[in-house]
Amino acid sequence: LEGLDKTIAANVEAGIVPWICLIGPPAWAMADEHHSAGYEPFTFKADAWRNLVHTLATRYKGRIWGFEWLNEIVPGNKTREPVAEYLDFCRIGTETVRKVDPSMKVQLAGGLWPRNFRNDLLNAGVGDYIDVLPIHYGGETGVRDARHDVAAVGKADAVAIWDNETARGLSVWKMPPEEALTKSVVQSKWMMRQWPAELTAGAKGIVYFGGHTASAGNWTYLLDATTPRPAAATFAVLSASIGCADPVATAYVGADSVLHIFRKRDGAGIAVAATVSDADDAASSLNIPAGARFIVRTDHQGNQRRLEANNGALTQPLAAMPVILDGFDLPTLAVHAGL
């Protein structure tokens, strides 16, 4: 575990509270006929699994948030009873963790699918052994579906919905630098369109997939240690603007405009606004009471512009790439948006 020790220590030193996503246990904790987990439940040795979890939880107590039991699993073919097997896997793991440190939290396998597999697990009682149900690469609909499924088994107040793996991949290998920079903006567009919508739909956490360096780019926001992609700035912009604001609602305004509305700590309203369509040539015009003399418009790279609200109303052209509009009087905006 020395390598994991170093990783966790580096996270803690940087002020990050990590969790351990256990993609698969060692082969000795699995049934003899299995050698790797893959992306599916499997038969396992209960005592070996319990001892492994106890060792990890004890070793990292006070330094990690908790655990995630497997990743992106489907029913698969390593067991005839995938629901019962994975339910028992979660039960043993979570009960062991909670005995070591009741403050640790547990996530269901992120991106577990299809939905009927998730619902079978929820109906079987997996909600008793998780604190978070994470989806992957979701949007407003994915979050609402997950909330519905959790509420259907009476766990709406006990199990939070996260999207704990979300980003937009794009390889820029052998692209000329200017083309790579321009095309990489699709990553920023994904973040600006998906993340505010997920938060206003009820997601309690969003985790970016990719923080390592990759010379081809792919999912991450760093080509190397000193070369960030546009997504890095977008991450900072979203964190600074809506990261500490409370989600209020999503409102569809006019023919083709959508606002994801948040309440700032000072009570002012802030909205992430775009066209409903995500087509590159989409366009609409937003005309809405602001309840303020001006609104500050921020784009995905942090460029800001002061917009005068003539006669108390804001008129702003919108495109598929969202912008952040900050400074609304929230009650005024809420009334107009029908909230």
3-state secondary structure of 28: helix
**Cα–Cα separations (whole angstroms), residue 151 to 73, 86, 237, 327, 333:** 22, 21, 33, 34, 30
Whether 338 shows a pLDDT value over 90: the answer reads: no
How high is the pLDDT of residue 108? Answer: 98
SS (H, E, C) 209-250: CCCCECCCEECCCEEECCEECHHHHHHHHHHHHCCCCEEEEE
How high is the pLDDT of residue 32? Answer: 93
Q: Where does the chain show beta strands of DSSP type E?
A: 19-22, 66-69, 105-107, 132-136, 160-166, 170-171, 205-208, 217-218, 222-224, 227-228, 246-253, 257-263, 269-275, 283-289, 294-298, 304-308, 313-319, 323-328
Q: Which of 40-54, 212-226, 317-331 has the lowest mean pLDDT?
A: 212-226
Tokens of 119: 């619902």
Length of the chain equals 339
What is the arithmetic mean of pLDDT over 266-270?
96
How high is the pLDDT of residue 221? Answer: 94
Query: How confident is the model over 271-306, as pLDDT tens digits?
Result: 999 999 999 999 999 999 999 999 999 999 999 999
What is the arithmetic mean of pLDDT over 308-335?
94
Q: Is the dihedral of CA 315, 316, 322, 327 positive or negative?
A: negative
How high is the pLDDT of residue 286? Answer: 94
How high is the pLDDT of residue 211? Answer: 85
Q: How confident is the model at residue 254 (pLDDT cuts 50, 70, 90)?
A: confident
Query: How confident is the model over 138-156, as pLDDT tens digits?
Result: 999 999 999 999 999 999 9
How high is the pLDDT of residue 10? Answer: 96
Q: How confident is the model at residue 327 (pLDDT cuts 50, 70, 90)?
A: very high
221 contacts 211 by C-beta, under 8 angstroms: yes
**Cα–Cα separations (whole angstroms), residue 33 to 3, 17, 24, 42, 332:** 28, 36, 15, 10, 64
What is the arithmetic mean of pLDDT over 307-321?
94
What percentage of the chain exceeds 70 in pLDDT? 100
How high is the pLDDT of residue 200? Answer: 98
Task: Give the span between the Cα atoms of 336 and 329, in whole angstroms.
Answer: 11
Whether 120 shows a pLDDT value over 90: the answer reads: yes
Tokens of 283: 């366009």
Pick from 328, 252, 320: which is nearest to 297 by CA?
Answer: 328
Q: How confident is the model at residue 336 (pLDDT cuts 50, 70, 90)?
A: confident
What is the arithmetic mean of pLDDT over 185-206?
98
How high is the pLDDT of residue 207? Answer: 96
What is the arithmetic mean of pLDDT over 236-246?
96
Whether 339 shows a pLDDT value over 80: the answer reads: no
